């Protein structure tokens, strides 16, 4: 059973990753991996038995073997597109989306904009409503 230290360590590892999947990356995945990721994005977080149950319910033509499913989960975890937590019966997976990047404009521009917005808000508050 993982302790607090392990969980924090795991979180730090995850947060230090620049990676994570962009939904557009789904298009380049092989069909089984894409299917798993789409489902994981929808459900956000699932236990291993829940994923197995979902795979069992797929149409026969699409249903992976247990080995194929396990291999796919391993590949996605290594890519940091899925985050695996817990051990044994308590293993669960979470979809890991890439952070939406902020603007690449120079910080000075944003600071100037923030100052102007704040000044405009203050002015608005100080102006008495028209009677």
Partner 1 sequence: MSQIISIHSYRGGTGKSNVTANLAAQAAMAGKRVAIVDSDIQSPGIHVLFGLDKSTMKQTLNDYLHGKCAITDAAFLVGREPTAKEGVCKLADKFLWLVPSSIETMEISRVLKEGYDVNVLNKGLKTLRKSLQLDYLFIDTHPGLNEETLLSIGISDEMVIILRPDQQDFQGTAVTLDVARSLDVPSIRLFVNKALSRYDHAQIRADVEKTYSTQVVGVLPLSEDMVDLASADVFSLRFPDHPWSKELIRAAKIILGQA
Q: Site residues (CB under 8 A) for partner 1?
A: 20, 22-24, 26-27, 34-35, 38, 41-45, 94-103, 105, 110, 113-114, 117-118, 120-121
Q: Cα torsion at 100, 106, 109, 112 (round to 10°)?
A: 90
Task: Tell the smallest beta-carbon distance from residue 11 to partner 1 (Å).
Answer: 13
Choose between 42 and 88: whose C-beta lies nearer to partner 1.
42
Compute the distance between CA of residue 79 and CA of residue 116 in angstroms, rounded to an integer.
43
Task: Tell the smallest beta-carbon distance from residue 38 to partner 1 (Å).
Answer: 6
Choose between 37 and 73: whose C-beta lies nearer to partner 1.
37
Length of the chain: 131
Task: Tell the smallest beta-carbon distance from residue 74 to partner 1 (Å).
Answer: 21
Is 29 in contact with 41 (CB distance < 8 Å)? no
Choose between 68 and 115: whose C-beta lies nearer to partner 1.
115
**Nearest to 72, CA basis, from 17, 124, 32, 27:** 32
Choose between 105 and 130: whose C-beta lies nearer to partner 1.
105
Compute the distance between CA of residue 63 and CA of residue 54 in angstroms, rounded to an integer.
10
């Amino acid at each position: 059973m993982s302790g607090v230290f392990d969980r924090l360590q795991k979180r730090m590892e995850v947060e230090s990753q620049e990676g994570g999947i962009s939904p557009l990356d789904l298009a380049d995945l092989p069909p089984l991996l894409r299917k798993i990721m789409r489902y994981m994005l929808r459900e956000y977080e699932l236990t291993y038995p829940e994923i197995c149950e979902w795979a069992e319910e797929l149409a026969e033509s699409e249903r992976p073997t247990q080995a194929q499913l396990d291999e796919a989960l391993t590949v996605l975890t290594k890519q940091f597109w899925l985050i695996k937590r817990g051990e044994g019966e308590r293993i669960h997976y979470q979809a890991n989306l890439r952070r939406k990047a902020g603007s690449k404009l120079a910080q000075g521009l944003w600071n100037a904009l923030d100052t102007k917005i704040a000044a405009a808000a203050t002015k608005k508050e100080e102006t008495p409503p028209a009677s």
